[in-house]
Chain A
């Protein structure tokens, strides 16, 4: 017999490989790269908006232009950046963390990637059309989004692009769920899965449960815009909002849990001990997930069309599982030996700054308080503290943490610190003024404001902050470029980490593991190995 084993197919390389290669790691890198590209594009839109708002009067764009800017900024960041970035993280790591050779349904997974790219291009191609890109905000509320109110193909392309992104999310989440259900290595029981994999499991459950509502909303809206009159009735506008927000709140946790999971892994690794209260983390994730499906009406407190009391109750209850996650993060550090490397800095930034978003979230979960701040800059500040100052800090914690695993090289520590501190200063200088502005009466989605309101100073400060955020992202890009030229080699496990992805080479081979897996007796098998070596 021949000693070499012939693979069932030859790996495809080159440009064609980039297009059709199904290795989950390659697809995840391409998806993450695409998402990062959309992050930069959406960031440019944000800078243009902040430029316009820095002073009263119209300086940068027109009113119609501004409507496209904020609509496409929100849509790009939510549909094309944070959601796919979260799913890309899971796509890369879940098979590795559970000791699988490959993701389940790799071709569907590849299709999910292409659907996202296609959706993004379709949505952005609106800028090339008459009337420009979609301009009915990221929510496209009816009847503002009806053909007669927002005419032109740009808005249709927006609907189609969002629908493709929704399909992409469903496909990608299904693959990760199937991987977790069927491809865990021997010994990898559900309650031995790393917390990041648990966070992806609940993320994907929410995705498959809620993204079909988005797909439905977009299909019906497109039909309505082409004469079907779906929502053109007394109950139509409320029906649209109910369908949309049935997707629109679970997605908030789709854009949060993976980064919470990443932060928990980072905190455990850099504290040198396993996470505190593993089962409490799992249970609170599941409770969070269940509640997430029943809080959508809190986006509609001021509409008079939903039962405010019920949705206030369910939304405020989220404080309980959220508090347990915070207990887990801090409890893991207590008793540890904490090393403040860049991933840990970003994790700490996540813990403090997401808290601002979470606490202001409890505040807006109370209808009498929300009646004032709803649709104001207060709410803009609130969700940017959760998404940018929270989730994106978690994302960068994950990027700095897993970069050496993915590329084999460690990102530079000093540039990482510069990136971190600029990002901290930038996000706070941007969004603290927006809390003040919103409370003082500045509505969101306005292109201009009267100088008589005295808002120019706070707005200028916010614009300066956005510039600092942009600078911090540039520092990150420089760090990536320099690292790829001259970064230190990482080896399989540069951090003394705990989970299976660190038991293979960096980057991992085509089928993830060449040597036998270590015995899996807990959610931290590599820590088990080190502890046994001491005994």
Chain B
């Protein structure tokens, strides 16, 4: 997506930033120069509109396709139940009953997940709207009162640690509503599962 949007944006910006000074110098007021009377050329407008419409069509098609694949749910290798609240996070794992990672004052919760496999997150909130955002994964989703949001995350193999934020303003300690992410390779994940009382 970036690879499509950024070059187009850069090209348009370059046309204006380079073109404008050229126009300003070429058509600056000089003694003896009179401005050319404006002749409307609506064919030019039409061509520009068509080119822009074509670019828009490409962007929208690619966007919709990417959006479908990104929000589709695959068969998960691991599930997480995430609960947001003022002001912290609680993570539990349906396949590891009794294992709960929960924020305490001054100590953010840590999300434990296996790297390299699909992780399905069920996200709820206990009070206001929060947002679950892991910047390294370039993804966020709001936690909406009385609803459950389901989405897939995939931590690339080799991811060690990261951080997550609440992105939606949620009151006094919004700034503190962070969590840590521990995405583990299979060996570490197995040992975490053993020490936390679950089955591997």
Contacts and interface: CB of A to CB of B under 8 A. Distances in A.
B135 A371 contact: no
A143 B45 contact: no
A371 B132 CA distance: 10
Contacts of B145: 143, 234, 237
A518 interface: no
B63 A368 contact: yes
Given A368-B70, A371-B138, A277 B45 contact: yes
B24 A333 contact: yes
Interface stretch (B51-59, B77-85, B98-106, B185-193): B51-59
Contacts of A449: 175
Sort A-B residue pairs by CB-CB distance and give the 8 closest, nearest first: A441-B135, A272-B35, A335-B36, A372-B138, A446-B175, A375-B167, A280-B45, A445-B169
16 contacts: A304-B147, A304-B149, A320-B52, A323-B49, A331-B44, A333-B23, A339-B29, A348-B24, A355-B16, A368-B63, A371-B138, A372-B140, A376-B133, A441-B163, A444-B167, A449-B175
Contacts of B19: 330
Contacts of B41: 276-277
B24 A374 contact: no
B168 A312 contact: no
Question: Size band of the B side of the interface?
Answer: 35 or more
A67 B40 CA distance: 51
A144 B37 CA distance: 57
Given A63-B173, A63-B175, A441-B163, A309 B141 contact: no
Contact of A352 (B20, B49, B131, B170): B20
Interface of B: 1-2, 5, 9, 12-13, 16-17, 19-20, 23-24, 27-30, 33-38, 40-42, 44-45, 48-49, 52-53, 55-56, 59-60, 63-64, 66-67, 70, 127-129, 131, 133, 135-136, 138-142, 144-147, 149, 163, 165-176, 178
A352 B169 contact: no
B173 to A, nearest CB: 7
A143 B128 contact: yes
A303 to B, nearest CB: 5
Contact of B42 (A144, A280, A304): A280
Given A276-B40, A309-B64, A143 B129 contact: yes
Contacts of B13: 355-356, 359
B172 A67 contact: yes
A441 B136 CA distance: 8
B contact patch SS: mixed
Interface residues of A, number: 80
A356 B13 CA distance: 8
A363 interface: yes
A342 to B, nearest CB: 15
B142 A319 contact: no
A contact patch SS: helix
Contacts of B63: 312, 316, 366-368
B86 to A, nearest CB: 8
Interface of A: 63-64, 67, 136-137, 141, 143-144, 149-150, 234, 237-238, 271-280, 302-305, 308-309, 312-313, 316-317, 319-320, 323-324, 326-327, 330-340, 348, 351-352, 355-356, 359-360, 362-363, 366-369, 371-372, 374-376, 440-441, 443-450, 453, 531
Contact of B56 (A320, A355, A360, A445): A320
Given A280-B45, A302-B131, A338-B27, A312 B67 contact: yes
Contacts of A368: 1, 63, 66-67, 70
A340 B27 CA distance: 11
A449 B175 CA distance: 7
A447 B175 contact: yes
